[in-house]
Chain A
Amino acid sequence: MAGRKSKTATVNKPKASQKTTAPSAAKRGANPPTVAPPANRKRVQAISAADVDVYAELERLSAYIDAARREIALIHPEDVKEEYVPGATDQLDAVVEATADATNAIMDCCDEIHDVMGDVSPSVGTKLTNVTTRIYEACTFQDITGQRIGKVVSALKNIEARVDALVLAFGDETVKPQKTAGARKSAKNKKTTDADLLEGPQLSEKAKNQAEIDDLLASFD
């Protein structure tokens, strides 16, 4: 009875235990454990041998993908899409607008000079014409810089699209770091430094005008 019980217990042991306990049992001179028939054992060994390499490769692949996900999460792709690219394109649009405004203001002045050419001597008139012509020529920079900036904007939009594709491929949740309550609190309590204050020129819709600045200053009185 006891022997039968023991036999059943040996058969039910997991394969790994079987493998480790069998030699010591043999050394002790105990009954050998029940093993699979030869045909079955051969099939199990063949699958295990083939699996080892594939399994190792899959593990390496999985580790690689995990590392890639972590690295992508670290660059905060949602910030690239929602903050950096739109911010940069807005700034570049503002550059184009500002240079266009300045160019038109310069040409307005040239037009005024042109209007008074009849009131001056011919020699002075010729000089003024030459000077205004050179100013008009110089103003063509605005078209060229506008086109160059347009190219940069296209490149940024291309990067944005690729980041989008990356987020889609890896899954939104994977690449979007979850902000913990602690992190949110810490961001809220973070003290503004002098460096934080330096953002350069504001976009016109965000910038305060002089009257608003004056009001703000007056509010301290």
Chain B
Amino acid sequence: MAVDMNMNVLIVDDYKTMLRIIRNLLRQLGFENVDEATDGTQALEKLKENNGEFGLVISDWNMEPMTGIELLRHVRADDKLKHIPFIMVTAESKSENVIAAKEAGVSNYIVKPFNADTLKSKMVSVLGDF
């Protein structure tokens, strides 16, 4: 199935600069409909408001008050949201983190710093070719 290039992508990071970088990289990859949140709580509100209409969540881990992994657990526990692919993009690179994220239901995991090729390949593995 072809990837819907018009789908809404929610990016979550407490660094505004990082949000801008990911937004620009997504634009380079052809995804223009990008929404932003600066922590897990705000992201969860946006996801619920839109009734799970997002096609992908790309989230940082280390944020306050709600972290990326807490957001992931909320998403996976919600019947209306649990289908949404979730990619963690974080500087946390310990095995324990990756295992914890996998156990929480992460779709893929990107370690910062990353490049556009890595972002694209992880998105392809989650969404299919585009």
Contact = CB atoms under 8 A, between A and B. Distances in A.
Interface in A158-196: none
B115 A137 contact: yes
A137 B17 CA distance: 12
Contacts of A146: 15
Interface of B: 13, 15-18, 20-21, 24-25, 27-28, 62, 91, 112-116
Given A144-B91, A146-B15, A147-B62, A107 B21 contact: yes
Contacts of B16: 100
29 contacts: A100-B16, A107-B24, A110-B24, A114-B27, A133-B25, A133-B28, A136-B24, A136-B25, A136-B28, A137-B25, A137-B113, A137-B114, A137-B115, A137-B116, A140-B18, A140-B21, A140-B112, A141-B113, A142-B15, A142-B18, A143-B13, A143-B15, A143-B17, A143-B18, A144-B91, A144-B112, A144-B113, A147-B62, A147-B91
Interface residues of A, number: 20
B24 A129 contact: no
Nearest to B91: A147
B114 A140 contact: yes
Contacts, number: 53
Contact of A136 (B15, B21, B112): B21
Contacts of B15: 142-143, 146
Interface of A: 100, 103-104, 107, 110-111, 114, 129, 132-133, 136-137, 139-144, 146-147
